[in-house]
Amino acid sequence: MRIIYTLSIILLLSNEVKSQERTTPLPAGDPITKIIRFYPNPATSFITFDFQKSYDKSYTLQIFNLPGKKVHEVTEVTPKTVVSLTDFFRGIYIFQLRDKAGRLVEAGKFQVSK
For residue 102, what pLDDT is reported? 94
C-alpha pair distances (Å), 24 with each of 19, 40, 50, 104, 106: 9, 30, 23, 11, 12
Where in the chain are the domains? 2-25+34-112
- Please give the chain's pLDDT, 114 residues, in tens: 666 666 566 655 565 544 444 444 444 444 567 889 999 999 999 999 998 877 788 899 999 999 999 999 999 899 999 999 999 999 999 999 999 999 999 999 999 998
DSSP string, 65-83: ETTS-EEEEESS--SEEEE
CATH node for 2-25+34-112: 2.60.40.10
For residue 34, what pLDDT is reported? 83
What kind and span of H or E run contains 10?
helix 2-23
